[in-house]
Structure 1
Amino acid sequence: MTYAARPLLFTLDPETAHTLTIRALRLRGAVPGGTGADTRPRLATTVAGLAFANPVGLAAGLDKNGEAIDGLFALGFGSVEIGTLTPLPQPGNPRPRLFRLAADRAVINRMGFNNHGLAAGLAHARAAKRKGKGLLGINVGANKDASDRVADYVAGVTAAAPLADYVTINISSPNTPGLRDLQHGAALAELLAACAEARGATPLFLKVAPDLDPTGIDGVARAAIDHRIDAIIIGNTTISRPPLASRDGGETGGLSGAPLAPLARQRLADFRRATGAALPLIAAGGIDSGAEAYARIRAGASLVQVYSALVYEGPGLPARMLRDLDALLARDGFASVTAAVGTGV
């Protein structure tokens, strides 16, 4: 399925198209009477003590600076995650750094945490008129040249926690050198301990890469449980390369979209096993329909997040996903999303 603006947007380079999309969403959010999150009773769920109107959320990365929060909620998302925000503004990696792989329904990016900085992003979050529209996540990271990356994460968590419904620690981007090293061993334990202390009463989520090996998965699961992380997001883009048809398939960076789905499904299963269902899992990567969202929920995800599929399916995607998800739950006799979690394992 295509949408009206797609032919025009696809004539532009991907980053320009992205900028125009954010502007359009910002304008949409300024119009009174936005619909807000889809509130069909069967779709409501509670995760980490938070009441989500529905389980379909927007992943971090689309609205890095929180400029279009109200417009994004108007699409029907149960949650919107902004960021990644770093303590100081940074331009990210040189252009070109975003590649549309239309033949594969995929995207490769090497953006490099480009954002206007924590203060600017939080100012937008503070100004958003989001009451009753859904839950806001704020995704935080470290500056590329930080001498103490743990301190950067602590600064982000400390500043974001009073404004966010939940805060996500993003240690999964492949585009900041050395960042994924924080997913392992003593470095991970130190980071989680410091951030858990900084978050106060705000739920704290951890976003990890889909490229972890079995030892890494077990280590993350143990550390997250030990440090009382409230949920794990699985996961970010992959540096692996399945067969791709598009010309730009060999570009460096993180791959997202449809080709990521098989790996993302496997990692969800791996984390379900490693955690023993002891904490909620949030599925991301290649989710582009209500049927796929339902499959991830039955595989153990309490919530799902989308991003790259919006490039190809357009702004009507969340509403379609939620309509179809509700129908699938009803078909199989589930009174709620929560009742369906893990039933396919």
Structure 2
Amino acid sequence: MKKSKGLVVNYGLKNEGCEKIAKRLLGKKFQVPVGISIAKTNSPKTVSDDAGINDYVKAFGKFVTIGDYFTINISCPNAFGGQPFTDAKRLDKLIGKIDKISTKKPIFLKISPDLTHRQVDRIIEVSKRHKVDGFVCTNLTSQRNNKRIVDRHVSKEGGISGKVVEEKANDLISYIYKKTKNQ
């Protein structure tokens, strides 16, 4: 998206899996802070809430002694089954299970720029009841009706990043700051 200064990302979270990656990183020392970003596996096998939660918890457990902080990605637009954990009840159940794994490392939630303020309010309320230290704003947008998209042909698949999502991301940062300051 050259004219819009954005990218269409349709990568789908491809990787070797938490076991192999954790094994490779275990015991290594890094000169910079290392964040561990966890999303549910992009598979029909993780579509049900319980399977998705178990998938997140498994990965969190594999990395609990690795890295300096965690990002729980509940907003990948390219994941099979959508973004079920942006729903407050489902998120509460997910984070409740993660809370049972002992860690002193900060935990952040990575959220979508496409959420309504009502959805964000519910996510904030759930986060207050759990060991969530903050938010990563934002993931890719899946919306194509953005006035910043000026390119004529944009793929219908995948999420969009770059200048196209900048205003939405900044608005979300501002909104969350106002809702959570001094907390």
**When the two structures are superposed, what TM-score results if normalisation uses the length of structure 2?**
0.87
Q: For the residues of structure 2 that align with 1:240 and 1:273, how far apart are their CA atoms?
A: 25
SS of corresponding position for 2:35: strand
Q: In the alignment, residue 187 of structure 1 is paired with which amino acid?
A: R
Give the alignment's Cα RMSD to 1 decimal: 1.8
Partner of 2:99: 196
Q: Higher relative contact order by CA 8 Å / sep ≥ 6: 1 or 2?
A: 2
Change (3 A) 1:154 1:106: same
| Alpha-carbon shift at residue 129 of structure 1 (Å) | 4.6
Q: For the residues of structure 2 that align with 1:124 and 1:102, how far apart are their CA atoms?
A: 37
Is 1:257 equivalent to 2:157 in the alignment?
A: no
Q: In the alignment, residue 230 of structure 1 is paired with which amino acid?
A: D
SS of corresponding position for 1:189: helix
Change (3 A) 1:124 1:218: same
| Alpha-carbon shift at residue 247 of structure 1 (Å) | 4.6
Partner of 2:15: 115
Is 1:162 equivalent to 2:65 in the alignment?
A: yes
Which of 200, 204, 209 pairs up with 2:112? 209
Question: Contact (CA 8 Å) 1:158, 1:199: kept in 2 or not?
Answer: no
Partner of 2:179: 274
Q: In the alignment, residue 117 of structure 2 is paired with which amino acid?
A: P
Partner of 2:39: 141
Q: For the residues of structure 2 that align with 1:107 and 1:211, how far apart are their CA atoms?
A: 17
Q: For the residues of structure 2 that align with 1:199 and 1:206, how far apart are their CA atoms?
A: 17
Question: Contact (CA 8 Å) 2:8, 2:155: kept in 1 or not?
Answer: no
Structure 2 counterparts to residues 9-24 of structure 1, below 5 A: none
Partner of 1:103: 3
| Alpha-carbon shift at residue 277 of structure 1 (Å) | 4.2
Identity fraction in percent? 24
Q: For the residues of structure 2 that align with 1:209 and 1:246, how far apart are their CA atoms?
A: 23
Q: What per-residue deviation string (whole Å, max 9, x for no partner) do you get for residues 254-299 of structure 1? A: 1100111111111111111222342xxxxxxxxxxxxxxxxxxxxx
**When the two structures are superposed, what TM-score results if normalisation uses the length of structure 1?**
0.48
Partner of 1:245: 150
Q: In the alignment, residue 38 of structure 2 is paired with which amino acid?
A: V
Q: For the residues of structure 2 that align with 1:194 and 1:180, how far apart are their CA atoms?
A: 18
